[in-house]
Amino acid sequence: MLEIKKYITEQLDLWEKIVKNANNGTLFHTRKFLSYHPPGRFIDHSLIIYKKDKPYILFPAAEREINGKRFLVSHPGTSYGSFVVPAELPFADSYKIVESLIKYAKSHKFNGIRLTPPPTIYNRRLSNYIDFALLQHGFTYHKREISSILFLENKVEQNLEKFKASHQRAVRKAIKEGVEIRESDQLEEFYQILKNNLKIRHNVTPTHTLDELLKLKELFPNEIKLFGAFLNNKMVAGVVNFTCTKDVVLAFYISHDEKYQETRALNLLFYSIFDWAIKNELKVFDFGIFTVNEDPNFGLARFKENFGASGMFRDTFEIIL
């Protein structure tokens, strides 16, 4: 018998403990991460699912109006969310969890549910139980994005061997040009590069404001790191990484100054980040999606593939109640 109750702030420590020990808990599921959003941005409606009166499953979520309808959405302030489940989740329970969520949403007058689980590579134990249960209970794919995933080897030289020849040459060229790579706290300088790049290429602004990014860095000094590529002490490219689990690191922001594109600083930057990740015993590098609302950027896909990356779904499921 499963019972769903709304999360209350007094359960903060309990929530964080469950995320830490879960099969698929990530940095994005933690209350610590969700806390960076200013009050009023979202109507939090996070849930705890109980089994035999004991906390069992988490569902970080918020209320959101979509096309005039009231939806329960796995938290929109994160890249992905959905259920946080234990590694030993039985198949039968995956059905019960989805059934219970649908029943809860209906009883609270929601018109629909939308959720985005982490890609399966974020699972300690690979499992598609929840995905299957969602589809069996009437959920459909709202969208299926593709994220570029790179499996890290024991030594960075082994990853270098998997680079396409053009990327191997680019790494050598960047070294020859005098590009230097280092971890940096110059988020303001990077943010300007990022903002300019997004404006030129897509006429959009970054997901986070500079103040929000600085706050996140303050909240997660060890998990969020900026690596910069420098030429004569000037930052010409940067990557902001989020270490989401003990095994997986996500490149949340990638940007470069187009005036210095021919130095191939970005190629050397990623090579150096892979080296750092391997030395810190990380197993997977997630480059992030190269599709936006299922519209692929073929050039970006090719750039990531040339490092040896392949594609994995980042799915969003939806049900209309």
CATH code: domain of residue 93: 3.40.630.30
Inside any domain, residue 302: no
Is 96 within 8 Å of 85 (Cβ atoms)? no
Q: Whole-angstrom Cα distance, residue 290 to residue 147?
A: 6
Confidence of residue 76 (pLDDT cuts 50, 70, 90): confident
Tell me the backbone φ, ψ of residue 275, rounded to 5 degrees: -60, -45
Please report the pLDDT score of residue 202 as a whole number.
Answer: 62
- Mean pLDDT of all residues belonging to the chain: 93
DSSP annotation of 278 reads H
Looking at the fold, whether 104 and 133 belong to one and the same domain comes out as yes
Q: Whole-angstrom Cα distance, residue 25 to residue 118?
A: 9
Inside any domain, residue 100: yes
Q: Quick one: average pLDDT of 66-79?
A: 90
Which of 93, 128, 145 terminates a domain? The answer is 145
Inside any domain, residue 35: yes
Inside any domain, residue 199: yes
Inside any domain, residue 318: no
Looking at the fold, whether 158 and 140 belong to one and the same domain comes out as no
Using DSSP bridges, classify how beta strands 112-115 and 69-74 pair: parallel, antiparallel or unpaired: parallel
Q: Quick one: average pLDDT of 244-273?
A: 93
Sheet containing 47-51: which strands, arranged edge to edge?
2-6, 47-51, 54-59
Looking at the fold, whether 138 and 178 belong to one and the same domain comes out as no
Looking at the fold, whether 269 and 234 belong to one and the same domain comes out as yes
* DSSP-assigned beta bridge partners for residue 285: 150, 249
Looking at the fold, whether 195 and 115 belong to one and the same domain comes out as no
Which of 125, 145, 165 terminates a domain? The answer is 145
Total number of domains in the chain: 2
Looking at the fold, whether 98 and 44 belong to one and the same domain comes out as yes
Looking at the fold, whether 166 and 110 belong to one and the same domain comes out as no
Looking at the fold, whether 6 and 116 belong to one and the same domain comes out as yes
Inside any domain, residue 268: yes
Confidence of residue 197 (pLDDT cuts 50, 70, 90): confident
For the whole model, what pTM was predicted? 0.92
292-321 pLDDT, tens per residue? 889 999 999 999 999 999 999 999 999 999
Looking at the fold, whether 70 and 98 belong to one and the same domain comes out as yes
Which of 114, 145, 176 terminates a domain? The answer is 145
Inside any domain, residue 307: no
Looking at the fold, whether 8 and 141 belong to one and the same domain comes out as yes
40-58 pLDDT, tens per residue? 788 999 999 999 999 999 9
Copy the structure tokens of residue 312: 């994995």
- State the residue range of the domain holding 160: 153-282
Residue at token pair 């946080």: 84
Inside any domain, residue 170: yes
Looking at the fold, whether 220 and 256 belong to one and the same domain comes out as yes
Residue at token pair 């992030």: 288
Looking at the fold, whether 182 and 250 belong to one and the same domain comes out as yes
98-142 pLDDT, tens per residue? 999 999 999 999 999 999 999 999 999 999 999 999 999 999 999
pLDDT at 199 over 70: no
